[in-house]
Structure 1
Amino acid sequence: MERLAGRLVLLSGWRRALVAFAAGGFAVLSVAPYDFFAACFVSFPVLVWLLDGATAEPSARALARLVPAFSIGWWFGFGYFVFGLWWVGMAMLVEADSFAWALPIAVLVLPAIMSVFYGLATALARAFWTDDIGRIAALAAAFGLAEWLRSFVFTGFPWNPIGYAAMPVPLLMQSVAVVGAPGMNSLSVFVFAMPALLAGRRHRRIGGALAAVLVLAHLGFGFHRLAPAGDSDARTLTVRIVQPSIDQATKLDGTARDDVFRTLLRLSAAPPQEGAEPPQLILWPETSVPFLFTERPDALTALGQLLGEGQMLIAGAVRAEGKAGADQATRYYNSVVAINDVGEIVDAVDKIHLVPGGEYLPFEGLFQRLGVDRIVPMPLSFSAGTERHAVALPGGLGAAPFICYEIIFPDLVSEGVAGADLVINVTNDGWFGDTPGPYQHFRQAQIRAVETGRTLVRAANTGISGVIDGKGRVIDALAINVRDVIDISVMIGPPRPMPWGNPTTNGLVIMALLATIACGLKLRQRMGVD
């Protein structure tokens, strides 16, 4: 181990960058759909040893001394995000004649931007570097900070944070309800990087003991929280989830809209599956309604005929809203609409967190004058909604709806479920085909269910649709590219918040504690205290 670490420490130039890139790429095996978390026990020790050798000229200024460390982190992140997000480029091939030019932006530029956060993490950690466990604590705190920043800077894109590697199954997801995503990110890096101590002589035992305690606590809490427990207050809601599996090119074809709508009606009207009760709620995916209801009132009539007494449909649809004054443009919203059994729209919730470059173009007027349109081939530019509220469901229940990638933002979901009994997520992952993207998206929905302690019902156009309980267990699901429905009686218990305060705050406290340890050991080193 010491020989390997020594060789990595002495690497320079393109060889150092290549190893960092490969280590980051190898770490992708730890996330869905691979879930080989042991990959991180290789990638992060390699990263530590590369940082051990990230030194600059003694005469360099303070910031310049951190450039080698930033470079290593950036290459590590570039490998992680290139191999973890390559599937985003599939959206550019849906209408390749018009949008293939943007493929390098999705496959290379997006990962390059995301990698800056990891570069900042390693540069910050290197500023507090020691030759003992202090450097592990510094790296863990810095990565936790970088992942936290990645969740909101430039509107945020917290896809595949490192902490997810430690949560491949429900047993290992429960800790996130206590320490939140920030805590899981920091603690995961702390444990994953601990084998780097095997190449030295200091803090081997304490490092191994700390890692063992954290792993055992992680497992023990999972067993405790998943222990069977009756819930006399639980209520049931019969739900039909419709997965129409409409090819994305067909969805964009204006001549196929009636066929798409008929497919949705047919799937929704099918008799209940054997042993299932008629659904109280029917759920359609994001933008499943292929036209504006204001232009096709006959569609609402058809839905009124479809729905039986007391039934409700929640469907993803584009909602149009005219502005005062004939000279001003109509606003379009990516929404979910609730339709009652007489074909009336009784509620609507608009998507608040839009996808930059896909659902809207930042500084759109300027870019259009330069001849640049949105990157993703969407037919409309959307406006962001202004507020979220729970939608009233049959049986006196309330559901908090989140559209597409809104479900990846922990704080957005935690705040948005106030007053709701369950979470609804509608999405269209058909842009990305049968790639890791839809699996990773579904995993994020599992984590949100655990964080909020609420059942999550998910409808996706081509998969993965399913029902997840408040502890992250998948009750039922449909595979990708399957056209089918799920009929299920969903058990919904009262939300039970964890007794240890806000998980995000707890995670930030853990991050600060690790940073304090790193600073303390760095100070001891400078003072020459062994």
Structure 2
Amino acid sequence: MGTLAGRVILLRGWKRVLAAFLAGALAAFAQAPFDFLAVCFISFPVLVWLLDGVVSTNGGGIMRRALPFFATGWWFGFGYFVAGLWWTGAAVLVEGYAFAWALPFAVLGLPALLALFYGFACFVAWFFWSEGIGRILGLAFAFGLAEWLRSFVLTGFPWNAVGYAAMPIPLLMQSVKIVGMNGMNVLSVFLFSLPALLVSRNHLRPGFACGLALVLLHLGYGYASLAAAPPAERMLPVRIVQPSIEQSEKWDEDIRDSIFKTYLDLSSEPTSEGRASPRLIIWPETAVPFLFTDRPDALVAVGEVIKDGQMLFAGAVRSEAPATSGGQTRYYNAVVAINSAGEIVDAVDKVHLVPFGEYVPLGGLLRKLGITELVESVGPFSPGSLRSTLILDDGIRALPFICYEIIFPDLVLADAAGADFILNLTNDAWFGDTPGPYQHFRQARIRAVEAGLPLVRAANNGISAVVDPHGRIVNAFALNAYGVLDADVPLGPAGGPSIGKPGVNGFMLLALFGISALIVSVRYRFKSN
């Protein structure tokens, strides 16, 4: 271990850059669908040693010493996001070469932008850097801060936050409902970086004692939470329609009637023997291939399929006429509730839109340069102003999130009170058979655990599923499967021990690590002088 650390510390030039890039890329394999958690216990110690090497060779002013920290973190982040998000390039080629201009940005530009946050993390860590556990505490605090910023800066994109690597299975997911994602990010980086102490052995025993205690608490709470989970008070039978429509055909006017008929046929299939008829039928994001306002006959057809006592939640594009004669029609990516009479009784619009996917920032300027939305639809879309629950006839409340809205913890936790289950409609067909849909599904499962609510997820080509409040899969359809998924949604209290609010606890933990890193750093520098 000492020999390896020494070689990493002494790396210079392109070899240092390559080592940082590869260490970050290796860490991406801890995310879904690979879930190879052990690689993080290699990647983060290598990052620590690379930063140790910066300290040992750079003198001069603050910026001269701190900027190499930023550069090392940036290369680490660039490797992490290239390896973890390369699949975003699949989306820009769905329509052939029309959006080929966006391929370099998707595959390299987006990772380069996100890597700035990890560069910032290492820059912040420099201010706490010292021998022993101080630098581990500082790095954990800095990464936690960076991941929090990544959740909202430039509209936010907290995809594949480091903390998800520590939660591959339900047993290891339960801690997130205590400390939230902010806390999980901090604790994960701290644990992953601890093997770096094996070299200098400063604070080795207290460091590994803290690490062992955290692991035992993580496992123990997970076991206790799952063991204490009460049975569901009631079950809601649902049917999820997964048609696996090719993305390139989704908005084809020549076959849209055929696509709509596919939804109707699947929705009306009989249930298996002995199974109750679904009370709720769910179609995925933008399932309806036209505007209901243009096709009133479509609502009539839906009403003929939906039985008395049933309701349909369908992803659809909703239009709103201009308020003035010179205004423009506004379009919304929405989920609509339709009753057995074929009437739209409620609708909730997507609030958090995807930049360059559903709208173009600085649209007027960028459109002149030929830059348009990557989503072929009637858009650009307008954001919804308010999220509300969709209510079934008997008062059961569904809290809807469309597509990647589900990856934002604050969005879900802000409105979870009073809801009976989380509804996630999405269309991951853009990303084909790549890690993207698996990563998206994992993050949706974590939202269910955080909020203590079951999750019902309908995806065009998968992964559609029903998940209980502890992240356990009740039933699911594989990626690219075709058909209907009939399952019972367990409603009722999540159960299990819980402490406080995850968002608040996460910030408290972040502050604790920051203060601890500062104290250790100051003590070290005081002794050195």
Q: TM-score range by the shorter chain?
A: over 0.9
Paired residues of 1:452 and 1:497 also in contact (CA < 8 A): no
**Mean CA deviation greater in 465-474 or 507-516:** 507-516
Partner secondary structure for residue 394 of structure 1: coil
Secondary structure of 1:501's partner? coil
Identity of aligned residues (%): 58
Q: Is the 8 A contact 1:280 1:394 kept in 2?
A: no
The verdict on how the C-alpha distance between 1:199 and 1:56 changes in structure 2, with shifts beyond 3 A counting, is closer
Displacement of 1:391 in angstroms is 0.7
SS of corresponding position for 1:313: strand
Q: Secondary structure at the match of 1:471?
A: coil
Larger displacement relative to structure 2 (486-495 or 115-124): 486-495
1:44 alignment counterpart: 44
CA distance in 1: counterparts of 2:12 and 2:378, whole angstroms: 48
In the alignment, which residue of structure 2 is the partner of 1:112?
A: 112
- Report the secondary structure of 1:385's partner residue: coil
The aligned residue for residue 167 of structure 2 is: 167
1 CA distance for matches of 2:59 and 2:220? 50
Cα displacement (A) at 1:127:
1.6
* Corresponding letter in the other structure for 1:262: K
Change (3 A) 1:443 1:58: closer
Mapped to 2, the partners of 1:375 and 1:497 lie a distance apart of 43
1:13-64 deviations in whole A, cap 9, x for unaligned? 1100100000000001101000010010000000000000113876633123
User: Residues 376-410 of structure 1, C-alpha deviation per residue, up to 9 Å, x if partnerless?
Assistant: 44442100000011111133201100000000000
Q: Is the 8 A contact 1:33 1:440 kept in 2?
A: yes
Distance in structure 2 (CA, Å) of the matches to 1:56 and 1:201: 17
- Report the 3-state secondary structure (helix = DSSP H, G, I; strand = E; otherwise coil) of the residue aligned with 2:4: helix
1:141 and 2:138 aligned? no
Cα separation, 1, equivalents of 2:347 and 2:377: 21
Counterparts of 1:470-485 in structure 2, within 5 Å, are: 470-485=469-484
Partners of 2:114 and 2:240 lie apart in 1 by: 34
Q: Is the CA contact 1:99–1:376 (under 8 Å) kept in the aligned structure 2?
A: no
- Which stretch shifts more, 176-185 or 206-215? 206-215
2:333 aligns with 334
Query: Separation in 2 of the partners of 1:305 and 1:503?
Result: 45
Which whole-Å CA distance do the structure 2 matches of 1:371 and 1:86 have between them?
24
Contact 2:402 2:424 in 1 (8 A): yes
- Superposed, 1:278-357 pairs within 5 Å as 278-357=277-356
Taking the aligned partners of 1:201 and 1:53, their CA distance within structure 2 comes to 17
Contact 2:228-2:497 at 8 Å conserved across structures: no
Structure 2 counterpart of 1:421: 420
Look up the equivalent residue of 2:480 and give its one-letter code: N
Q: What is the identity, as a one-letter code, of the residue corresponding to 1:282? A: I
Tell me the alpha carbon deviations over residues 285-322 of structure 1, each in whole angstroms, 9 at most, x when there is no partner: 00001100000000000001101111100000000001
CA contact (8 A) 2:225 2:497 kept: no
Whether 2:228 is the aligned partner of 1:241: answer no
Q: Deviation digits for residues 491-519 of structure 1, max 9, x if unmatched?
A: 20136697532211111111111111111
* Structure 2 counterpart of 1:207, one-letter code: G
Q: 1:324 to 1:74 in 2, by over 3 A?
A: same
1:26 matched to 2:58? The reply is: no
- CA shift in 2, pair 1:299/1:494, >3 Å: same
Q: Retained in 1: the 8 A contact 2:227–2:496?
A: no
CA shift for structure 1 position 339: 0.1
Aligned length: 529
The unaligned stretches of length 5 or more in structure 2 are: none
Counterpart Cα distance in 1 of 2:119 and 2:57: 19
Amino acid at match of 1:246: I
Provide the residue aligned with 2:521 in structure 1. 522
Note if contact 1:99-1:377 (Cα within 8 Å) is conserved in structure 2.
no
| Residue number in structure 1 paired with 2:81 | 81
What's the secondary structure of 1:236's corresponding residue? strand
The 1-side partners of 2:209 and 2:55 are apart by 30
Q: Would the aligned equivalents of 2:179 and 2:506 in 1 still touch at CA under 8 Å?
A: yes
Q: Aligned letter for 2:6?
A: G
Cα distance in 1, alignment partners of residues 183 and 59 from structure 2: 37
Distance 1:228 1:486 in 2: 28
Q: Report which stretch shifted further, 57-66 or 153-162.
A: 57-66
Q: 2 CA distance for matches of 1:148 and 1:129?
A: 21
AA partner of residue 200 (structure 1): S
- Which residue pairs with 1:508 in the alignment? 507
Structure 1 pair 92/55, CA: closer, same or farther in 2 (3 Å)?
Answer: same
Superposed CA deviations along residues 142-184 of structure 1, whole A, max 9, x for unmatched, are 0000000000000000000000010000000000000000000
Is the CA contact (8 Å cut-off) linking 1:285 and 1:459 kept in structure 2? yes
Q: Secondary structure at the match of 1:396?
A: coil
C-alpha separation in 2, matches of 1:201 and 1:40? 20
- 1:227-260, CA deviations, whole angstroms, 9 ceiling, x for partnerless residues? 05434x7122110010010000110312110010
- The answer to whether the Cα contact below 8 Å between 1:92 and 1:102 also exists between their aligned partners in 2 is yes
> Do the aligned partners of 2:224 and 2:496 also contact (CA within 8 Å) in 1?
no
Aligned partners of 1:177 and 1:498 also within 8 Å: no
* Secondary structure of the structure 1 residue equivalent to 2:237: strand
Name which of structure 1's ranges 494-503 and 202-211 shifts more when overlaid on structure 2: 494-503
Distance 2:179 2:139 in 1: 18
Cα contact 1:398–1:419 (8 A) shared by 2 = yes
Which residue type is aligned with residue 10 of structure 1?
Answer: L
Partner of 1:190: 190
Divergent runs of 4+, >3 A: 55-60, 228-231, 375-379, 494-499
The structure-2 alpha-carbon separation of the partners of 1:402 and 1:319, relative to structure 1 and needing over 3 Å to count, comes to: same
Structure 1 residues 218 and 499: CA distance shift in structure 2, 3 A = closer
The structure-2 alpha-carbon separation of the partners of 1:358 and 1:229, relative to structure 1 and needing over 3 Å to count, comes to closer
Once the two structures are superposed, residues 127-151 of structure 1 have per-residue CA deviations (whole angstroms, 9 ceiling, x without a partner) of 2101110000000000000000000
* Structure 1: 5+ residue stretches without partners: none
TM-score normalised to structure 2 length: 0.98
> How far apart, CA to CA, are the structure 1 residues paired with 2:172 and 2:58?
45
The one-letter code matched in structure 2 to 1:271 is P
Residues 421, 494 of structure 1: 8 Å contact kept? no
Give the TM-score normalised by structure 1. Answer: 0.97
Describe the shift of the 1:378–1:103 C-alpha distance in structure 2 as closer, same or farther (beyond 3 A): farther
Q: 1:389 to 1:496 in 2, by over 3 A?
A: farther
| Larger mean Cα displacement after TM superposition, 263-272 or 197-206 | 197-206
Give the 5 Å matches for 1:206-221.
Answer: 206-221=206-221
Instruction: Tell me, yes or no, if the aligned pair for 1:390 and 1:417 is still in contact at 8 Å.
Output: no
Cα root mean square deviation, aligned: 1.5
User: What amino acid is aligned across from residue 404 of structure 2 in structure 1?
Assistant: Y
Partners of 1:378 and 1:80 lie apart in 2 by 32
Which residue of structure 2 lines up, in the alignment, with residue 71 of structure 1?
71
